[in-house]
Amino acid sequence: MTYAVKECFLTLQGEGVQSGSRAVFLRFAGCNLWSGREQDRATAQCTFCDTDFVGTDGEGGGKFADADGLADQVATLWGEGREKRLVVITGGEPMLQLDAALIDALHARAFRVAVESNGTLPAVEGIDWLCISPKAGTEVVQRSGDELKLVWPQNGVDPAAFENWDFANFLIQPMDCGDREAALDAAIRLVMERPKWRLSLQTHKLLGLP
């Protein structure tokens, strides 16, 4: 299988339970909820995405002919040492491309594989840490994992509807939008009202990291 990668780089994980961890960030190109073109945003299933996942022209991006080639790229970016290796695979929607061959190749290089998905496609077996971020109006088929991260506020979403899903952690993340203060206030208010949830911030943006 050929993998289309928008970007791949070494950084700190900025969101969720593993925030602050050293990680190689692997972003696949393409998504099933939005084309990535601004002219299509208003009619997309997900209208608030803050990520460029179009093409393969980002830092460390490109087309990789096989799983070993892409896993070698991830290992090169990590550098020396095999202790606590972490790769965070995202998109776009990573389940459009992620497969068992790539997971096996990353495991062979001592990486823990974390994945961030919208949950509309079933997760591949072998993932070590799975984060699902539901989007309003979509059918989420992956209802179990390590963390459920709900971007807030979203019209047409009731957080209570997710609370019986099989996740170890339930996170509320303020939407990165034009009125960030209002989004933050709404997120804090929800967590104060529903203690099953925890607040998650995009710390990489606060720190100026990619």
Active site (annotated) includes residue 204: yes
CA distance 85 to 112: 6
Percent of the chain with pLDDT over 70: 100
- Please determine, for residue 65, whether its predicted confidence score (pLDDT) is greater than 90: yes
Q: Is 107 a catalytic residue?
A: no
Task: Please confirm, yes or no, whether 131 is among the known catalytic residues.
Answer: no
**Does 178 score more than 80 pLDDT?**
no
In angstroms and rounded to an integer, the radius of gyration of the C-alpha atoms of the chain is 17
For residue 111, the 8-state DSSP code is E
8, 15, 25, 147: the catalytic one is: 25
Residue 8 bears catalytic tag: no
Angle between helices 67-78 and 100-108 (to 10 degrees): 40
Q: Which of 50, 57, 59, 179 is catalytic?
A: 50
Residue 192 structure tokens:
């104060």
Which pair of tokens denotes residue 124? 């591949």
- Rounded to an integer, the average pLDDT of 158-163 is 96
Q: What SS3 state is found at 61?
A: coil
Q: What is the mean pLDDT of residues 157-169?
A: 97
Residues β-bridged to residue 117: 132
pLDDT at 123: 98
The domain that holds 84 is classified in CATH as 3.20.20.70
> Residue 177: which pLDDT band, with cuts at 50, 70 and 90?
confident
Which residues are CB-neighbours of 132 under 8 A, at least 6 positions away?
A: 117, 118, 119, 140, 142, 143, 145, 147, 148, 149, 167
Active site residue 116: yes
Measuring CA to CA, which residue among 175, 152, 148, 186 is closest to residue 164?
Answer: 148
Number of folded domains that form the chain: 1
Average pLDDT over residues 132-140: 95
7, 15, 28, 49: which is the annotated catalytic residue? 49
Q: How much is the pLDDT for 44?
A: 86
Catalytic choice (47, 51, 138, 203): 51
Nearest partner of 71 among 46, 29, 45, 106, judged by Cα: 106
93 tagged catalytic? no
**Range with lowest mean pLDDT among 29-43, 88-102, 107-121, 188-202:** 29-43
Which residue range forms the structural domain that includes residue 79? Answer: 3-207
